[in-house]
Amino acid sequence: MLAGLHVLLAASSLLVGRPAPHCARAHVQSCSDAPAMPDAVSAAVPPSQLADAWQRDEKAKELAELLKGCSVYVVGLGGRKAAVSRVLARRLRYRCYDVTSLMCTTYAALGGGGDPVSLSQLVAKEPLADVEQLAGAVLSEVQQFSRSVFTTWDGSVGSNDFAVMQQGLVVSLDFEATVDDDVSLPADEAEATKERWQAGHAKADVVVHVAQGTAADDAAYQVVETLISHIAANPAKSVGWKANADAKLAERDGSDAPN
């Protein structure tokens, strides 16, 4: 069923310019345009919470400036990383692309546009090698968009995946007490596959350990702080990130120009 994958991706506009469901690409409202908090609500919020919210906004702004347009790739086991990615993208004022959701959408299109499928259904129906091929094609297709947060699928651990992701920063979210029910593993050699994926996630630029019960916004703030520290420890790389982001932007603007 996946034999026509590259033809579909090349010939259609299924992926290019279309974010995954639940990932906002809508206009991001600026702080100056945002409605002011009513005085009654503001007075009811404890000063410590207001200070924490302000600090998080300032830290996110600092990271956005340090990234210089560099994209962020979020890897890890389970679907909880998608919620963290959405919050992170919103705070950075970045686009958000959910590769897993795009994989399922593309697979449904290959089947003639029938009923949507979940990742677990996709992994159950197709050989793992074909699912990996689909994931790689989708990731290559969307990586052209700079200033984006990409939520990869659990198995994005191969050399080809990292060749794409290392054009940006790779963040591994290590969730405490991740259960197999939250991970779409193949029926054959499930445990070995899980261990291989976990080993691949450990190759990320940074690993963020997320305690059980941590809210998505708190986990996203952990990512922000960790990335700021990582960039501070690797200042020379930021020059390359900016050059790469500028090149992608110029290429995209050129392809959008009228003939």
pLDDT, average across residues 108-114: 77
46 part of a folded domain: no
pTM above 0.85, yes or no: no
Contacts for 101 with CB less than 8 Å, ≥ 6 apart: 20, 21, 22, 23, 82
Distances (CA, A) of 218 to 22, 84, 98, 142, 198: 20, 9, 20, 27, 23
- Asked if residue 105 has pLDDT above 50, the reply is yes
Counting the structural domains of the chain, the total is 1
* Domain, as residue range, for 184: 55-251
Closest alpha carbon to 208 in 50, 65, 80: 80
Distance CA 254, CA 217 (A): 36
132 part of a folded domain: yes
For residue 191, the domain's CATH number is 3.40.50.300
**Average pLDDT value over all residues in the chain:** 80
Write out pLDDT tens, residues 142-156. 998 889 999 999 999
42 part of a folded domain: no
Write out pLDDT tens, residues 53-63. 779 999 999 99
Distance CA 184, CA 124 (A): 9
Instruction: Name the phi and psi angles at 56, rounded to 5.
Output: -65, -40
Instruction: Give percent helix, percent strand, percent coil of the chain, each to the nearest 5.
Output: 55, 10, 35
β-partners of residue 76 are: 173
106 part of a folded domain: yes
185 part of a folded domain: yes
Kindly indicate the confidence band of residue 41, based on its pLDDT and cuts at 50, 70 and 90: very low
Distance CA 14, CA 105 (A): 9
Distances (CA, A) of 221 to 12, 60, 99, 171, 225: 37, 8, 22, 13, 6
Would you state the pLDDT for residue 16?
45
| Contact criterion met (CB below 8 Å) for 99 and 18 | no
28 part of a folded domain: no
10 part of a folded domain: no
pLDDT, average across residues 177-185: 80
Lowest mean pLDDT among 2-6, 58-62, 163-167, 172-176: 2-6
Would you state the pLDDT for residue 150?
97
258 part of a folded domain: no
Share of the chain above pLDDT 90, in %: 56
